[in-house]
Amino acid sequence: MRSFLLLPVFLSLWISAKASLAAGTDTLKTKTYMIPDKANFDTTLNGKAVHLFTLENKKHMQVAITNYGGRVVSILVSGKDGKPVDVVLGYDKLATYRKKGEPYFGALIGRYGNRIAKGKFTIDGKGYNLAINNGVNALHGGPAGFHAQVWDARQVNKTTLQLSYRSVDGEEGYPGNLDVKVTYTLTDDNALRIDYQATTDKTTVVNLTNHTYFNLNGEGNGNILGHTLMLNADKFAPVDNTLIPTGQLAGVSGTPFDFRKSFRIGARIKGDDEQLKNGKGYDHNFILRKTGKKPELAAVAEGDKTGITMNVYTTEPGVQFYSGNFLNGRAYNGKGGVNYPIRSGFCLETQHFPDSPNKPQFPSTELKPGGTYKSTTIYQFSAK
C-alpha cells in the first residue's frame, strides 16, 4: 500500500528529470565529469601510434589531448562549487573523431584555418587550387587537413605535450614542405598555452589555430546563449552569404557585434542584421586591438551556471567567434552519449584573417623559406 502511494511521487520525479535532461538544464550539473578512457584512443593509423595524453597541474586541473588531429578532448576545471567541470565538447572514442561530418571538435587546424574563396590563391604569379569542402570554398585546410592527421607526440612532463607534423609539398594543394611543431602547456595558474611554430622550403600560406568548442557550464549542459562574452575588438570582417569576407572592415558600434563590454551571447543573435543572417548567427572574424607582439587579452567568456570564466590571450591579429550555429544534435553523440544541439558550444579561434591570400589589404599569411611562423594563444580559467 505504501509503495502504491509513493508511485505518483516517483512518476513526478521521473518526468521532471526527463524534462530537465531534454532541455539540458540543471539536472546535468550533477554529472560526474572525467577524462575519457585512454583505451578508446589507443590504436595505430597509417603506421603511427595514436594515444590520449593527460596533462595535470598542481591545482589538479586536467587537460586530455589526442595526437590524432592534435585534438583537445577534455578540459576539467573547478566550478564555483569546487567540483570539476569538463568545459569542452568532444567524444569518448577516437573512432567518432574520424567520422565524416564531425565538426572539428578540439582540432589543430591547418595549413590554413578558416576559409579561402573558391579554394584558389596565387603566390608569385603561380596559381594554386585547394580541395573545395565548404560550399564553393576551401575550409580548415581541406578534408585531409591537420585535424585528420596523426601527429608525432612527445610528452615532456606532466604539464607539457609536444606535437610535430610534416605537411609535404602539394598536400591538399598547398606548396612547400611545411614542418610544424605545436606545444601544449598547462600552467599552474590554470591556463592552457598553445605555441605554434612552422618553417617551409617553398613560399606558402599558413594560418594555424585551434577549433575547441567551449561550454563553460559543462559540455552537454544546455546551450551557450546565457554565457557573457567580451571581445577586445572595435571592428569585424563582414562576410558574404558563403562566409567569405567582403574585404571591408566594419565598426562594431551600434551593431550586434559590439562585445567591447561583456554581453550575453544570445541577447542579439536572432535579430534582423544581415550579417547574422549570413552567418546563421556569429561566425565572423573580429579585429583585435593590438599594441605589440606578446600575447594580449582578446576575449573574456563566463558561464552563467558554473561561474567559470575563460580569458583568452593571443599574439594573433584576429579571433573568429563562432556560436555553434551548425551543430544539430543529430550527427554523433558526444561524451557520455549526450548530444550537442545548435549553439551548445562556442569557438574563439585566434587567427590571421579568412581569405587573406586573396585580400592584399589583410595582414599577410605568406611564409617564406628561411622564415619562421610563430604564434601563441592562452586559454586561462578561473571560477567565481
pLDDT digits (tens, 9 = 90+) for 54-68: 999 999 999 999 999
Q: Do 24 and 38 share a structural domain?
A: no
Contact 229, 301 (CB under 8 A): yes
Q: For residue range 187-196, list pLDDT tens digits in order.
A: 999 999 999 9
> Region 116-144: what's the mean pLDDT?
97
Phi first, then psi, for residue 279 (nearest 5°) are: -90, 0
State the average pLDDT for the chain.
Answer: 92
Kindly compute the dihedral angle of the four CA atoms of residues 22, 23, 29, 35, in this order, to the nearest 10 degrees. Answer: 60
At 30, the pLDDT band (50, 70, 90 cuts) reads low
Q: Do 72 and 178 share a structural domain?
A: yes
Q: Do 153 and 16 share a structural domain?
A: no
pLDDT for 5: 37
Q: Do 84 and 17 share a structural domain?
A: no
- Evaluate if residue 269 carries a pLDDT over 90: yes
Print the domain residue range for 9. Answer: 1-30
Q: For residue range 38-97, list pLDDT tens digits in order.
A: 999 999 999 999 999 999 999 999 999 999 999 999 999 999 889 999 999 999 999 999
> Region 336-361: what's the mean pLDDT?
97
The answer to whether 296 is a known catalytic residue is: no
| Per-residue exposure over 305-329, b if at least 16 CB sit within 10 Å of its own CB, e if not | bbbbbbbbbbbbbbbbbbbbbebee
DSSP designation for 174 = -
Q: Which of 219, 284, 349, 352 is catalytic?
A: 349
Q: Do 104 and 133 share a structural domain?
A: yes
Asked whether the bond before 115 is cis by omega within 30 degrees of 0, the reply is no
Provide the 3-class DSSP secondary structure of residue 300: strand
Q: Give the cell for residue 181.
A: 611543431
Q: Which of 140, 147, 172, 211 is catalytic?
A: 211
pTM of the model: 0.92
Q: Do 103 and 222 share a structural domain?
A: yes
72 strand-pairing partners = 65
pLDDT for 384: 84
- Evaluate if residue 4 carries a pLDDT over 80: no
Provide the 3-class DSSP secondary structure of residue 177: coil
Q: What percent of the chain has pLDDT over 70?
A: 92
What whole-number distance in Å separates Cα of residue 276 and Cα of residue 142?
25
pLDDT for 1: 37
Q: Do 120 and 20 share a structural domain?
A: no
Phi first, then psi, for residue 208 (nearest 5°) are: -95, 145
What whole-number distance in Å separates Cα of residue 195 and Cα of residue 161?
11
Q: Do 159 and 107 share a structural domain?
A: yes
CATH of residue 132: 2.70.98.10
Q: Do 200 and 256 share a structural domain?
A: yes
The answer to whether 60 is a known catalytic residue is: no
Q: Do 99 and 10 share a structural domain?
A: no
Q: Do 136 and 52 share a structural domain?
A: yes
> Region 18-46: what's the mean pLDDT?
71
What is the total count of domains within the chain?
2
- Amino acid identity at 93: K
Q: Do 243 and 139 share a structural domain?
A: yes
